[in-house]
Chains A and B, each alone.
Chain A
Amino acid sequence: MFTGSLAFSPICRSWGVSTTIEDNPYKFASTDKVADIYWNTNAEAARKIKAAVAQLSNCINAGNCTDELPNLDLCTQPSGIVDWAALLHGVIIEQYSSIPQLDIAGFNFTALINATIAAKTPAEVLRIPIDLAPAVYNPSHTGCVDWAKIAGEGNIVADIGLGTSWLYMTCNWMINSLGAISPSNSLFPEWAVDVSYPGCDTTLHADWVGPDMTKTNAEFEAMYGITDEELDKVTNLLIVNGSKDRTAAICSPKLSSSTNRSHSRVIEVWDMAHGDSGLSERLLPKGFHTQVDAIRNTQLAYIQEWLNL
């Protein structure tokens, strides 16, 4: 029925709640990608972020962050290591990851980089991604920041009216892991190396958890028919990823090269955010983003070839 398919920034790897790199070879891929995004964009900013995040991580372990980073100016002090870890991973690193990923119009990531370069202390560096979180948006970085309001966004899908279906899917069959950090990550300290880090919060709705939760990544790929070998055989599939998007790291299947234009392909578009290639000129007008303009033309060319037009 379908002649061809365009996949705009999909995810097709890093499935399940596997604890080991053997069970999920892509376990650290998305956070490794985030690190690359920063180093590729501005080394000075990346160096400052790396140092500031390391300082926060170290003081969490030492239990002295209140003294070590007083200028974070948090409205409420984290009460213990769990709270501090939530601030570091649930807020700061998640913000560092999602800001470039969702930088559809090119505003926040540039603002983040420029402000980081200008920041004078590690605390100032760390406040920047916190203040850019939508829940507290405060780009002038004034006053205290209600970090708990950001960390408490776990139910935001429901809160903003999308309902709970997304939560159900992530617990039942779209079980994916994005946030674990390798010991060799070039930007962030290691995290969840030997434990699972699922997108699903199994404590919220235990009865929603599906039977595939503990399958390995390879088992998921086989179940969905999306192994490298299978995707290599598929024709007329074009996967388009953005270089600012962490998900690009977990759906770049290894396909054989071919001169056949119907052979499945993966294209990564420089400076493009998540899913931008699926957006029309009405949303991103021609001339607004040169690379998006170019990939739109490329996608059209592929469709024309698939259809022999």
Chain B
Amino acid sequence: MITTVFACLLAIASVTVSAQPRCEGPPCQNFTQKLNHDKPGDNATFLQRYQLDTSHFKPGGPILFHQNEEAAITSNPLPIHVFNDYAANLGAMVVGLEHRYFGTSYPEGLSVASNITAAQYAPLTLDNVLGDSVAFVGWLKSTVPGAQNSPVIFGSGKTSTADVPTGSVISDLSTKCYRLIRRLSCHHGPCSVLSCVYWLSCLQPNLQKLGC
């Protein structure tokens, strides 16, 4: 157990000094996403991060799609989503898409550290968040062999969950991830800018042993 904890601490230390925390689980990749889905003539794009796990996928099997919440995908990586527990049973692929304007999924020239104006935030709309999901899943179906007719199950705890089949939305104001960072940083030491889930996934098996 001690070895595991030390390994975790070392990993966390390495994250602390790096500009971008590494992605836990499948590698983070970039999808070229339209910036404004509701403007047909607007060809502006940005790079939107995602994680994809097809290790259990069988042709025609479902796509378990998680629209990530209001945090970087490194804070909310694919392995911590419950869909992972279902993939083998369903022969499904599991995928998580970073929410626009979080993590590194910003329009070119902007970042988490930018002083963003209202005009620059204009594409951060609910319709565009949903449009991201639709466009991305459409791309998955057209590019992953055997996925063309796959049914899609949508999951999320935050923005853009819910009545996706009819285009409606349920939103959630809670900021679970950042609160977890706050909470766990107090339990286990300084990790204020770390990926909370990186921390969690690293130490979770040992939480009780650590006396938490």
Instruction: Please report A residues at the B interface, Cβ cutoff 8 Å.
Output: 1-12, 98, 101-102, 104-105, 107-108, 134-135, 137, 156-157, 160-166, 168-170, 172-174, 176, 178, 199, 205, 207-208, 224-226, 230-231, 234-237, 239, 247, 251, 274-275, 277-285, 296, 299-300, 303-304, 306-307, 309
Contact = CB atoms under 8 A, between A and B. Distances in A.
Contact of B178 (A9, A156, A296, A303): A156
Contacts of B155: 5-8, 278
A13 to B, nearest CB: 10
Contacts of B173: 11, 170, 174, 176, 178, 199, 247
Contacts of A164: 116
B66 to A, nearest CB: 8
A163 B112 contact: yes
A207 B118 contact: yes
A11 B170 contact: yes
Interface of B: 62, 65, 70-72, 75, 79-86, 89-90, 101-102, 111-114, 116-118, 121, 124-126, 134, 137-138, 151-159, 161-183, 185-187, 192-193, 197, 200-201, 204-205, 207, 212
A279 B197 CA distance: 11
Contact of B172 (A9, A134, A234, A285): A9
A102 B102 CA distance: 22
A102 B176 contact: yes
A278 B157 CA distance: 7
Nearest to B150: A3
A234 B162 CA distance: 10
A299 B66 CA distance: 14
Given A11-B170, A11-B172, A4 B153 contact: yes
A278 B24 CA distance: 17
Contacts of B151: 3, 306-307
A253 to B, nearest CB: 9
Contact of B153 (A5, A134, A135, A225): A5
Most A-side CB within 10 Å, residue of B118, B138, B174, B207: B174
Contacts of B138: 1
8 closest pairs, A vs B, by CB?
A: A137-B186, A225-B168, A134-B182, A8-B157, A163-B112, A165-B101, A3-B151, A10-B170
B204 A3 contact: no
A207 B187 CA distance: 38
Given A176-B173, A280-B80, A307 B62 contact: yes
A283 B205 CA distance: 8
Given A163-B112, A166-B70, A275 B157 contact: yes
B80 A161 contact: no
A165 B183 contact: no
Given A5-B162, A247-B174, A282-B201, A165 B102 contact: yes
A275 to B, nearest CB: 4
A230 B72 CA distance: 32
A10 B86 contact: no
A279 B116 contact: no
A228 B205 CA distance: 41
Contacts of A161: 112, 193
Given A164-B116, A307-B151, 13 more contacts: A8-B161, A10-B157, A162-B178, A168-B116, A176-B171, A199-B173, A208-B118, A275-B174, A280-B81, A283-B201, A283-B204, A300-B89, A300-B90
